[in-house]
Structure 1
Amino acid sequence: MSAETGTDTQDPGEKLRLGGMALRNGLLVHGPSHWAAAVRRDDGSIAVASGVKPRLQGRIESVPGARGVVRLGEAMLVIPLVKRALPEARLPFQDRTTLGAMAATAGAAQLVRRRLRGAGGEAAIAVLSLAPSLLALRTGDLAAYHGVEHKAIAAYEQDEDDAADVAKEHDRCGSHLMAPLLTANVAGSALLRKLVERPGPAHGAALSLASIGVAVEVFAWSERHADSATTRVLRKPGYELQRLLGTREPTATQLEVGEAALAEILRVEGAPVPVG
């Protein structure tokens, strides 16, 4: 997933800032003000839909930490709109095996929390929480469509005629959030247990939101300092996750679905469609 952070301000003539989410049978792309999705139907045809993105506006948009949570929240609000417009779309976790893994992971996390205290326990739970996502990527075509997402967006950004020629790893993939998110969560959990004798669900929810806010700010900083040595270190885990597990080289027919999603988002955003 290409994470969406920062401002939506767009200078005339600039490339659109695009993000997205891989589906099990297609691709969802986010633009500054619209979304577009394309999926491969069971009969082999491609279905396309698009719409206006929900916006959560107010002063919170300029508050560091909170603004990233708001942007990610807006991205989540698009999902039911996609399902309504494209009932054929299959979401990343729309799979019995993955749903079962999510339930098993939740149970295992509770067991670890009871038996392993301190930072070690929180670190184990944080790593365990990645299991359903990794399982989802290893089943079906999700990893391939994750590669489609990166290739389609990168080809547009780099003025490449053929998305097959660009890398399947991308600088704005949500995988780059993982390292700062896990670090913030483990550190925050250790601090919370020192300040609160028995943290409850509300404390846990607040910690999760705070960790997301910190991770998004680190992500945005890395974008602003893309050439720094620190950014290269911060992005290394995400690149390796993409390379080894998160993405797979897509087929020509899968790339065709990505091209349809890209063409639709450019159409609804009023941007020129590249001629290749």
Structure 2
Amino acid sequence: MKIYIALQRIILSAFIAVPKRIPVGGQAVIEGVLMKGPEHWGLAVREPGGSIWLKAWLGSDWLKNGIWKYPIIRGFATMVEMMRIGMRALSISAEISLGEEDKISPLEMAGAIAVAIFAVAGLFVALPMLVSEYLTFLLGLTHLSKNIMEGILRGVIFVGYVAMIGLWKDIQQVFAYHGAEHKTINAYENDAELTPESVAKFSRIHRRCGTSFLLVVIFVSIIVFSAIGGGSLLWRIGSRVLLLPFVIGISYEFIKGASNSETWGRYCIMPALSLQYITTREPRLDQIEVALAALDLALNPEAAGQDSGGSQLEIDG
């Protein structure tokens, strides 16, 4: 059961992490929210007793140095960093929200990660590829048609998967915190009063959401993989693995440009934004309170220690 819970969160983290370095970004975790400020991370989790557990740490600065700061490369590097920090936050939030009795051991978490990797690879990579290969054999599709079909299948599977897990009560709770995170960031970026009542009036949809990013990745992959020519099934698998960092980097730059545009960008990412109506829920005021606590901690790390005994400030080496 504990591995099942961990597996849910690991797979879900790939769909809700915000994949770019921005002044303020965030991710929903178990009974809480992770926020990223200019320099610090802030994690706020609702404890079983009702209090808010806080943790802040200084982010690593390797993304600002060397080749990692250049266009396209920075996109993949930022995704790796967000996944690393997101997994850490999910693990911590699981321990806090589930309590000592349901605490997930490192071995159980490692097992859940391994299962998640194989599940994602099979569901979102292998299955669309094999189905498109079969349809190509059956219908005599061209190389371009095969790649378009593969991309469409991957998108349909992704949307269907997100919609399906959204039926589970535990995931609905995470989606509500996802909505709280978006509302809080929208309020902050509009210089609104940062109270639960004020934040609740804002939209739960946000341009920089990781859900939108993943749909853009699917679209970009169709273009990139169609351009490299055909080949055997082994070649197709290998080329997708090798070109994945490039696809992610291109998608990152597109989202970055679209997020800063009030004209073309708004319309280009509109289909991707609509998916957030599935991956978010309207949050309660107490959930918004947690998101606000995480934001305050990310922007004001010296505030660590003002809440429960678990509150602390760490340096992430």
Normalised by the length of structure 1, the TM-score is: 0.78
Q: Report the equivalent of 1:241.
A: 275
- Return the match for 2:182 from 138, 150, 159: 150
Q: SS of the residue aligned with 1:194?
A: coil
Trace 1:205-244 onto structure 2 (pairs within 5 A): 205-224=241-260, 226-228=261-263, 230-242=264-276, 244=277
The alignment status of 1:115 with 2:134, answered yes or no, reads yes
Give per-residue Cα distances to partners, 1:209-239, cap 9 Å, x unaligned.
2211111111111133x222x2122121122
Q: Which has the higher helix share?
A: 2
Residues 49 and 82, structure 1, Cα contact 8 Å, conserved in 2: no
Residues in 2 aligned to 1:101 and 1:2: alpha-carbon distance in whole angstroms = 19
Q: Report the equivalent of 1:11.
A: none
Trace 1:89-238 onto structure 2 (pairs within 5 A): 102=120, 105=123, 108-109=127-128, 111-117=130-136, 118-127=146-155, 128-139=157-168, 140=170, 141-161=173-193, 162-194=198-230, 198-199=234-235, 201-224=237-260, 226-228=261-263, 230-238=264-272
Mark the CA change 1:269 to 1:208 in structure 2 (over 3 Å): closer, same or farther: farther
Aligned residues: 253
Report the CA distance between 1:130 and its aligned residue. 4.5
Residues in 2 aligned to 1:211 and 1:253: alpha-carbon distance in whole angstroms = 38
AA of the residue aligned to 2:247: S
Q: Which moved more, 1:191-200 or 1:158-167?
A: 191-200
Residues in 2 aligned to 1:89 and 1:255: alpha-carbon distance in whole angstroms = 17
Mark the CA change 1:187 to 1:110 in structure 2 (over 3 Å): closer, same or farther: closer
Q: Report the equivalent of 1:37.
A: 43
AA of the residue aligned to 1:123: G
Give per-residue Cα distances to partners, 1:125-183, cap 9 Å, x unaligned.
42124444444444331221111001111222222222112111112222332443111
Unaligned runs of 5+ in 1: 9-16, 271-276
Mark the CA change 1:200 to 1:237 in structure 2 (over 3 Å): closer, same or farther: closer
Q: Which moved more, 1:140-149 or 1:125-134?
A: 125-134
Q: SS of the residue aligned with 2:34?
A: strand
- Return the match for 2:82 from 50, 67, 75: 75
Mark the CA change 1:89 to 1:207 in structure 2 (over 3 Å): closer, same or farther: farther
AA of the residue aligned to 2:209: C
Give the fraction of aligned pairs with identical amino acids, expressed as a percent: 25
AA of the residue aligned to 2:274: E
Residues in 2 aligned to 1:124 and 1:261: alpha-carbon distance in whole angstroms = 37
Report the CA distance between 1:190 and its aligned residue. 2.2
Normalised by the length of structure 2, the TM-score is: 0.69
Mark the CA change 1:104 to 1:179 in structure 2 (over 3 Å): closer, same or farther: closer
Q: SS of the residue aligned with 1:167?
A: coil
Mark the CA change 1:212 to 1:19 in structure 2 (over 3 Å): closer, same or farther: same
